[in-house]
Amino acid sequence: MPLYENKDLDDKDLFRSVVLYGRNVASYKFALAESLLELGKVGKNIITLDELAIPFSTALLRHLEDSDKQGISKSSTFLKTLREFRDNETTKDKLLDTTAKLGFVNVIDAFHRVGKQDISTRFFLDERGSGNKIVLTDELLKLSQTNAATSLSKENDARWKLVETAWEYGISNAFVTVGYDKQQEILIALQGGIKRKSITGVKDAISGYQRGQCFYCSKELNFSETHTPDAIRVDHLLPFSLMTKTNLSEDLDRVWNLVLACNHCNGTSEKWDNLPHNDYVKRLLTRNEYYIRSHHPLRETLILQTGQSKEERYNFVRSIYDHLKQTGYHFWRVEDVQ
């Protein structure tokens, strides 16, 4: 299991691992994840493929509006039908019929697979053999009906956008890196340092790699509120303000240095302009290795910006931390100020 090693994984983490670490040759896994969370909310457990075809094709059509590339294969009859419907060249009946027949062929088998094995929880049972249906499990129904379902669904959509962007620009030749637009708090696709498109909100994109928790105090982050102590904030672990003060040549405004914190920790005055405690730098290095284990394009961005090997990446962050230490600033830690 490549996700959050040495931790007790609950169903929420396992669902995240499917989204963040499952391999993708097409975006169907994301469309299925979204459909499952949506159907689970309703509470009905037996879902025919005809019923599943509705949210599944809706999710794919929404993404096809933005990004025509929804898989790495050159030809797909299913995607062709979706495009025809998008372009008003076929009927809804034909769309749903083709989705039920062709849309689920591989994704139902592959959904629970992360790395070489299946995760330990099943979110649905495959009963295509008896009545063309799947059966949602209690684990899924429970998960869909908690607050976590909101963040899971946002994380799923953000991951989907990152993956389709990587496909769109071609991951092997025309290299795309992920940049950060601080004003809008979004991730952007950069090609040769030039902005090509907006990808997705930074909070949704990196929350899963922190298990939806505050980087500092580990409390669950709240995606729905904006001013409560648990509301989610984007933070630079190594303070951006120290960049010019110490004549640092590296840019601290990059994804490797961005973490999500709760409003409370982010607003702690001891933290401002001070360096984070060494424990947090270690935590950042671990968190960044979680990016490395997922596929395009956060992984490639991190490798390009911080180093090919784990050792290079550690040394890169360590050398910046050491440089900033010249300032003689206080090393901030949440336990010491609460």
Q: Which is nearer to Zn ion, 216 or 291 (CB)?
A: 216
Q: Which is nearer to Zn ion, 108 or 334 (CB)?
A: 334
The correct pick among 262, 281, 284, 298 for binding Zn ion (CB under 5 A) is 262
Stretch that binds Zn ion, among 122-130, 245-253, 260-268, 312-320 (CB under 5 A): 260-268
Q: Where are the alpha helices (DSSP H) in the chain?
A: 11-21, 28-42, 49-66, 77-86, 92-98, 107-110, 138-144, 148-169, 202-207, 241-245, 263-266, 278-293, 298-306, 310-325, 334-337
Residue 102 and residue 71: Cα distance in Å, rounded? 14
Stretch that binds Zn ion, among 84-92, 178-186, 262-270, 301-309 (CB under 5 A): 262-270
Q: How far is the CB of 263 from Zn ion (least distance, A)?
A: 8
- Is 177 in contact with 301 (CB distance < 8 Å)? yes
Residue 78 and residue 161: Cα distance in Å, rounded? 20
Q: How far is the CB of 200 from Zn ion (least distance, A)?
A: 23
Establish if 260 lies at the interface with Zn ion (CB under 5 A). no
Q: Per-residue string for binding with Zn ion, 70-109, x by CB under 5 A?
A: ----------------------------------------
Stretch that binds Zn ion, among 95-103, 113-121, 145-153, 255-263 (CB under 5 A): 255-263
SS3 41: helix
Q: Which is nearer to Zn ion, 217 or 285 (CB)?
A: 217
Establish if 64 lies at the interface with Zn ion (CB under 5 A). no
CA angle 79, 85, 88 (to 5 degrees): 145
From residue 226, give the alpha-carbon distance in Å to each of 133, 173, 187, 220, 223. 40, 40, 20, 14, 8
Q: Which is nearer to Zn ion, 115 or 229 (CB)?
A: 229
Establish if 217 lies at the interface with Zn ion (CB under 5 A). yes
Q: Which is nearer to Zn ion, 215 or 256 (CB)?
A: 215
Q: Which is nearer to Zn ion, 277 or 323 (CB)?
A: 277
Q: Which is nearer to Zn ion, 34 or 235 (CB)?
A: 235
Q: How many CA atoms lie within 13 A of 89 on its CB side?
A: 7
Q: Which is nearer to Zn ion, 10 or 220 (CB)?
A: 220
The correct pick among 47, 265, 281, 320 for binding Zn ion (CB under 5 A) is 265
Tokens linked to 122: 């099943």
Kindly give the pairing relationship between strand 117-118 and strand 113-114.
antiparallel
Residues touching Zn ion, count (CB under 5 A) = 5
Q: How many CA atoms lie within 13 A of 126 on its CB side?
A: 10
Q: 18-43 burial, b for 16+ CB within 10 Å, e for fewer?
A: bbbbbebebbbbbbbbbbbbbbbeee
Stretch that binds Zn ion, among 58-66, 202-210, 259-267, 291-299 (CB under 5 A): 259-267
Q: Per-residue string for binding with Zn ion, 187-216, x by CB under 5 A?
A: ---------------------------x-x
Q: What is the DSSP string of 72-85?
A: SSS--HHHHHHHHH
Q: How far is the CB of 325 from Zn ion (least distance, A)?
A: 24
User: Which residues form the interface with Zn ion (CB under 5 A)?
Assistant: 214, 216-217, 262, 265
